[in-house]
Amino acid sequence: MINVIELFAGVGGFRLGLEATNGFNVVWGNQWEPSKKTQHAFECYARNFENKGIHSNEDISTVDTKIFTNHNIDMIVGGFPCQDYSVARSLSGEKGIQGKKGVLFWEIIRLAQSTNPKYILLENVDRLLKSPSKQRGRDFSIMLASLRDLNYTVEWRVINAADYGQAQRRRRVFIFATKNETAFVLNRQQVPDEEMLRTEGFFAKAFPVINELHEKKKPNSFIMKRDIVDISDNFSMNYYNAGIMRDSVVYTEEVTPIQETPISLKDILEHDVSEQYYLKESSIEKFKYLKGPKKIERTSATGHNYTFSEGGMSFPEPLDKPGRTMLTSEGTVNRSTHVVEDPTTNRLRTLTPVECERLNGFPDNWTQGMPERMRYFCMGNALVVGLIERMAQRIINIESENIQGIQQELFLSND
């Protein structure tokens, strides 16, 4: 079994995907929402994983890493917030860098330093690759450099869940880091970067792509600077949707998925839905306006006049396609909320909490017990479980390769 620490656990999407393979043991999971009196997500997590590992509801920055000493941690996973990762030298200058307080990525690094896991698997919004807007790629470069300095090889991929058979067009960037001394890394030292991304690497095996260059976007390779403060101050880079960093050499390429047939909206809809989800005429008119095309004259804070415009959206949603990206505002009268025509009644309604759970691949009623608004909110924050299950199976294969490598080393040393 692969022993795991789960950070920023939410309602447990990472854990569900890992445990579906029967190859992982989540020994400690942390979920804490600052400034929230009632910890709905944590309560959901603790209830669904009752008597399985330790459940932590505390500020991760206050956790003493000594508690992991005897747990033999193999992997850290987590969907961390997208924040400002800029860094600066300490006042005395000799202690290297210090990130902004409250930036949770540094807690991942802190735990990785103390537990030295073989694997790290992270998830974030895909705009992470381009942030901040005034220094494109800086934040992601800081992350890559930080993982490199802990002796990891890193791959990343932006994945649209619907491209790989899931029910939602949800794009997220996933980051997989592996210790350089593992057999998985050592056995592929001579494999070219492009082959790692297209056929041989972590993501390529689980999420196949077309084995050819993108027609319009030329791959890019560069040497990552050693000074993270210099990266923070000066570095700018356009990252594509896939890439790998080995030592300080970074290679990034735009890959094209080999698409699988997704689950459609009609396949996740419930029957005999409660009247409360059906729209009244006043709400229908509001949705028509919100989802319709617009051109609105506005004045900026500096007095500049401009035209705000946005295109129209399907209303109602096409049932033969997967759902759009679900946001935390799902279920409210909002432009992003899904509105469907119920196949049984032919009336317009919003999605139910169970249907939102299905969009992310959670079991029905996983979030039952919390206020309904929070059920929508938690699903808007969640990840697609089916993607994690695929990654988990890939990690099991890699772990098997690493174990075989260790056994071979022992055999040769004893020969």
Residue type, 113: Q
Mean pLDDT taken over the chain? 92
pLDDT tens by residue, 263-300: 999 999 999 999 999 999 999 999 999 999 988 888 88
Domain that holds residue 344: 265-381
Residues 368 and 283 in one domain: yes
Residues 93 and 242 in one domain: yes
Q: In this prediction, what percent of the chain has a pLDDT beyond 70?
A: 94
Label residue 306 exposed, middle or buried (CB < 10 Å: 0-12, 13-18, 19+).
exposed
Residues 298 and 340 in one domain: yes
Which of residues 10 and 36 earns the better pLDDT score?
A: 10
Tell me if residue 142 falls in helix, strand or coil.
helix
Residues 198 and 345 in one domain: no
Give the model's confidence band at 414: pLDDT under 50 very low, under 70 low, under 90 confident, else very high.
low
CA separation for the pair 148, 202 (Å, rounded): 17
Residues 245 and 314 in one domain: no
Give the model's confidence band at 413: pLDDT under 50 very low, under 70 low, under 90 confident, else very high.
low
pLDDT tens by residue, 88-144: 665 544 434 455 655 888 999 999 999 999 999 999 999 999 988 889 999 999 999
Residues 40 and 189 in one domain: yes
pLDDT of residue 307: 85
pLDDT of residue 35: 79
Residues 223 and 301 in one domain: no
Residues 138 and 176 in one domain: yes
Residues 278 and 246 in one domain: no
Token pair 């000066």: residue: 234
pTM of the model: 0.93
Among the listed ranges 2-16, 216-230, 343-357, which one has the minimum average pLDDT value? 216-230
Among the listed ranges 129-133, 237-241, 342-346, 392-396, which one has the minimum average pLDDT value? 129-133
Q: Is the separation of the CB atoms in 82 and 94 below 8 Å?
A: no
pLDDT of residue 332: 96
Residues 148 and 70 in one domain: yes
CA separation for the pair 331, 213 (Å, rounded): 41
Answer yes or no: is pLDDT of 377 > 80.
yes
CATH of the domain at 98: 3.40.50.150
Q: In this prediction, what percent of the chain has a pLDDT beyond 90?
A: 80
Among residues 137, 151, 3, 132, the alpha carbon closest in space to that of 77 is found at: 3
Tell me the mean pLDDT in the region 230-245: 93
Residue 205 token pair: 């095996």
Split into its structural domains, the chain has a count of 2
pLDDT of residue 134: 87
Which of residues 266 and 216 earns the better pLDDT score?
A: 266
Q: Is the separation of the CB atoms in 17 and 161 below 8 Å?
A: no
The packing angle between helices 40-48 and 372-381, to 10°, is 80
Asked about 82 being catalytic, the answer comes back as yes
Q: What Å distances lie between residue 295 and 284, 289, 305, 312, CA to CA?
A: 20, 12, 13, 11
Residues 255 and 321 in one domain: no
238 Cβ neighbours under 8 A, 6+ residues apart: 130, 136, 137, 220
E-only strand ranges, 238-345: 242-246, 249-253, 294-299, 305-310, 339-341
pLDDT of residue 298: 85
Q: Is the separation of the CB atoms in 141 and 231 below 8 Å?
A: yes
Q: Is the separation of the CB atoms in 161 and 387 below 8 Å?
A: yes
pLDDT of residue 96: 41
- Of the residues 44, 82, 356, 378, which is catalytic? 82
Q: Is the separation of the CB atoms in 209 and 260 below 8 Å?
A: no
Give the model's confidence band at 339: pLDDT under 50 very low, under 70 low, under 90 confident, else very high.
very high
pLDDT of residue 280: 96
Give the model's confidence band at 410: pLDDT under 50 very low, under 70 low, under 90 confident, else very high.
low
CATH of the domain at 312: 3.90.120.10
pLDDT of residue 191: 97
CA separation for the pair 119, 24 (Å, rounded): 12
Answer yes or no: is pLDDT of 190 > 80.
yes
Tell me the mean pLDDT in the region 183-196: 96
Residues 231 and 270 in one domain: no
pLDDT of residue 100: 62
pLDDT of residue 409: 64
Q: Is the separation of the CB atoms in 209 and 258 below 8 Å?
A: yes
Query: In 241-310, which ranges are continuous DSSP H helix?
Result: 281-291
